[in-house]
Amino acid sequence: MKPYTDVESVDNIIIRRFDESIEPIELMWHRDDEDRLIELAGESDWLIQIDNELPRFIDGKVKINRHEWHRLIKGTGVLTLKITKLPNEGS
């Protein structure tokens, strides 16, 4: 079972919601098959951590490169993200 719900998905843009009742252990390190831009849809104190970096607030657009390890760190309340999947270089 996925720790999120996709509220809307159109072309390469996904609106994804993480519920406040999620257990932090469900927010595992993972990699995606495409470059992505992550943006907050609303306000949140949740954090994002990219491999070999300290956790940081999601401020503005955060680029996650293809196959780069990353994870979310739970804050308070619901987290809603706008995820834009970018075309892979050379495709």
**CA torsion, ordered 8, 53, 28, 26, to nearest 10 deg:** -80
Domains of the chain and any CATH numbers: 5-85 (2.60.120.10)
The token duo for 40 is 């907050």
- pLDDT for res 28: 94
Q: Residue 2: its pLDDT value, please?
A: 86
Count of beta carbons in the 10 Å neighbourhood of residue 8: 10
pTM of full prediction above 0.85: yes
CA-CA distance, 25 to 83, in Å (whole number)?
22
State pLDDT tens for residues 14-55. 999 999 999 999 999 999 999 999 999 989 999 999 999 999
